[in-house]
Structure 1
Amino acid sequence: MTLLFLRSRTSAGPAAHGPVGPAAAPVNVLVLTVAGAVTVANIYFPQPLLAALARSLGVSDRTAGLVATAAQLGYALGILLLVPLADTARLRRLTGTLLALTSVALLVAAAAPNVLTLLIATLALSTTTVLPQILTPVAAALAGPGLRGRVVGVIGLGLTLGSTLSRTVSGAVSDATGSWRAPYLVAAAATAGLLCVLPRALPERLGAPGGRRVPYGRMLAGLPGLLGAHRALRVSALVGACVFAAYSVFWAALVFHLAAPPLGYGPGAAGLFGLLTVPAALASAYAGPLTDRFGAGPVGRWALACVGLGLVLAALVPASPPALVVGAGLVVLGTSACQIANQARVLGLGRDVAARVNTVFMLATFGGGAFGSFTAAWLYGAYGWPETLLGAAGFTALGALAASRRRDPVPA
């Protein structure tokens, strides 16, 4: 219903065009969701491949873990430099350019002769694959207050499925071909395929056609001011950074834990964990309607409790695959639900700055993710699985402390 409503609302006639102008095309949330899933997968599909590429390129597990860190850093950099453009840029041209650049960088990564080239290519492709953080503000702004949480939940579900299932697909492709390079080629083909559909599904611009164009440099310089002006943005950014740091610690270390004795699993089994957590990803979509009804604060605190429970379970029975699957599912459910709740909160601060407040929020979130990936590589290499999960739990506790200091009014 949400998808049909938003599509009909933006194609019903002149009165529906409103802030996107008379030349805007209908916005199909389903297309945006699929596009977000495909592009966000480029950040996460290398994770099950880390042990295999470490052997292939002759580097240590810790060095291979820098690929995951580079992906998070590049994504954060792209959010900072590129996502603010969505407030004023021509969306169709912007998305087409980003898709083309990402496809080329994926091909370079597939052919990388050494880990340095792979790291540079990963940094480049993750910088340009920021479309999910452009598409979400577009859909949320068009949805309006009554459906904002639901729409963010639907697109958030796509992002969760994309990040989760990408591990399964890349692991399966790697096992079937015997090469860690093949998943990069598959990702390049999928990303390039979006060039045929995504630009046509977007409005020409997000802002009003007669609105004042803010210079690019001024937009970037004004981002700290947004953070200072909105307490909701500050709280959401801190909580998002903490929960995504915990998420990244868990998943970046899990592939090494599964490959080590006594489990001894390969990339395919590591990717299978993504498939087995799909029910949790699907359940996280309900965070959107719950946020519309109860507010972001209660939903976020419940989500953080899920993450903490998943980490505890994975630590208590580290050699039990079923327990690890359940723990991973709880981490996915909690992280995605927390993301949806906090993002819906900040996107309600005003459509004229929707892309920029999303930039601040997601920059903090993926900055936390990058720090989490780096922490995972260091903790696991130096100490092992239990201590790594303890570090993830520390991030979760910090997020819970920040969330407890924010009290949102319950929506009417």
Structure 2
Amino acid sequence: MTVEAPPAQPRSGLGRGTALTIAIAGALTVANIYFPQPLLDAIASGLGVSGSAAGLIATGAQVGYALGISLVVPLADVARLRRLTTALLLLTTAGLLVAAAAPNLATLTVATVALSTTTVLPQVLMPTAASMAGPAHSGRTVGMIGIGITLGSTLSRTFSGAVVGLSGDWRTAYLVAAALTGGLVLVLPRLLPEYGGGERSVPYWKLIGTMPKLILAHAELRLSAFLGATVFAAFSAFWATLAFHLAGPPFEKGVAWAGLFGLFSLPAALLSYSAGRLSDQRGPLYVNTLALACVAAAFLILGVYGGDSMTALVIGSNLLVYGGSCWQVANQVRVFRLDERIRARLNTLFMLASFAGGAVGSLTGTALHARYGWTGMILGCGGFLLLAAVGLLRGRRLG
């Protein structure tokens, strides 16, 4: 497979309306990964399978998303962006329609993996929009799209639950998602530049094969990848164990309460927009330092008071979401300041590192919580943050 593109064309800038539309598109497409999660019980009942078997849907979504980041996102460096965007939207819409009509769990799982592989559009849009905005405004653009992704992943769970509650059928949520995703075909492609900024002609296998070399060539990428993995590990450990913590004494709350914490922390997610502007004005290192202080304060509050105080859990989760979102934005801004021609591949490597950190954090957090309780999980997260602090200190020489 050979992907051809002419030399990069001059950027004309990115208007606020275009940036907002791209952020909304990111929110709607990333929602396709997360909206099925509250529906698993209804899916299990509808298809006549166990709840644990229906959990394959959530696993398949994560596997598909990781495959898409690895194998599809790098194409944004060299492909015709409008054509790539249109193809991804149409394939995702088709996958959602197949899922809506799935007669059994096997079909639904395969459709979930397929549509999750092609719904990686947010990670295509992020480097593209950063290039369109130009160096002086890339930070605030990354911040705006980052908020879109956060809101899409959070509110999609609430929205899908409401749709199924009104319709009484889990398949309706997939049909609504297909309509929203398909509708983007009429709007989004025309807002993007025709081509990516990469080389004129690059075989697909060579495009993928260049990525390991990029890790060795760019110290800033290695720094952002390490920082992203460590803090996302602590972030994921908290969210992976929150439901268990709330279910036990003294809270004795149901699983739905863990989902509500996504809504409780929306103010922090919205405030994190400032991270993009601060990254433009003060640099990613400054924002990393601020974000790490917020995350550390979050775990301090969660550790000291979060064992028996709902208020402390809400405050701590807001600090964690704000710090984690700012941390992500700063790391991606640092990566996007590197060679414009390879931004999509750089973003791929950064996101894969973050995903790996999140997986390690989830496994570590649940294991520590099961053996040592809430305090053990908090201390484990402290270990991840200590690694992040060491990495940040070593990264100061990069500026």
Q: Normalising by structure 1, report the TM-score.
A: 0.82
The aligned counterpart of 1:123 is: 113
Instruction: Choose which of 168, 191, 206 in structure 2 pairs with 1:201.
Output: 191
Say whether 1:292 aligns with 2:280: yes
The aligned counterpart of 2:61 is: 71
Question: CA 1:174 to 1:349, structure 2 compared with 1: closer, same or farther past 3 Å?
Answer: same
Instruction: Choose which of 321, 326, 331 in structure 1 pairs with 2:310.
Output: 321
Distance in 2 separating the partners of 1:200 and 1:403:
40
The one-character-per-residue Cα deviations of 1:262-308 (angstroms, maximum 9, x if unpaired) are: 433354x4443222212101111111111122221231132133223
The one-character-per-residue Cα deviations of 1:83-134 (angstroms, maximum 9, x if unpaired) are: 1111111111111111122223334445556665554443322221111111
Q: SS where residue 214 of structure 1 aligns?
A: strand
Distance in 1 separating the partners of 2:377 and 2:193:
44
Distance in 2 separating the partners of 1:80 and 1:313:
37
Distance in 1 separating the partners of 2:268 and 2:214:
33
The aligned counterpart of 1:333 is: 322
- Kept in 2: contact 1:297–1:408 (CA 8 A): no
The one-character-per-residue Cα deviations of 1:136-161 (angstroms, maximum 9, x if unpaired) are: 11111122221121211121121222
The aligned counterpart of 2:216 is: 228
Q: Read off the aligned partner of 1:169 and give its amino acid letter.
A: F
Map of 1:38-117 to 2, 5 A cutoff? 38-49=28-39, 57-60=49-52, 67-110=57-100
- Kept in 1: contact 2:13–2:134 (CA 8 A): no
Q: Which runs of 5+ in 2 are unaligned?
A: 1-6
Q: What displacement does 1:339 show?
A: 0.8
Say whether 1:307 aligns with 2:295: yes
Distance in 1 separating the partners of 2:180 and 2:315:
30
Give the number of aligned pairs: 388
The aligned counterpart of 1:396 is: 385
Question: CA 1:25 to 1:342, structure 2 compared with 1: closer, same or farther past 3 Å?
Answer: closer
The aligned counterpart of 2:178 is: 188
Distance in 2 separating the partners of 1:68 and 1:387:
27
Instruction: Choose which of 148, 160, 171 in structure 2 pairs with 1:158.
Output: 148
Percent identity reads 55
The one-character-per-residue Cα deviations of 1:309-354 (angstroms, maximum 9, x if unpaired) are: 3334344324543332222222211111111101011111111111
Q: Which runs of 5+ in 1 are unaligned?
A: 1-17
Say whether 1:254 aligns with 2:242: yes
Q: Normalising by structure 2, report the TM-score.
A: 0.84
Question: CA 1:88 to 1:307, structure 2 compared with 1: closer, same or farther past 3 Å?
Answer: same
Q: SS where residue 265 of structure 1 aligns?
A: coil
Map of 1:330-409 to 2, 5 A cutoff? 330-375=319-364, 385-407=374-396
The one-character-per-residue Cα deviations of 1:366-400 (angstroms, maximum 9, x if unpaired) are: 23334444555666667655544544444333333
RMSD: 3.3
Question: CA 1:117 to 1:264, structure 2 compared with 1: closer, same or farther past 3 Å?
Answer: farther
Distance in 2 separating the partners of 1:172 and 1:305:
36
- Kept in 1: contact 2:93–2:179 (CA 8 A): yes
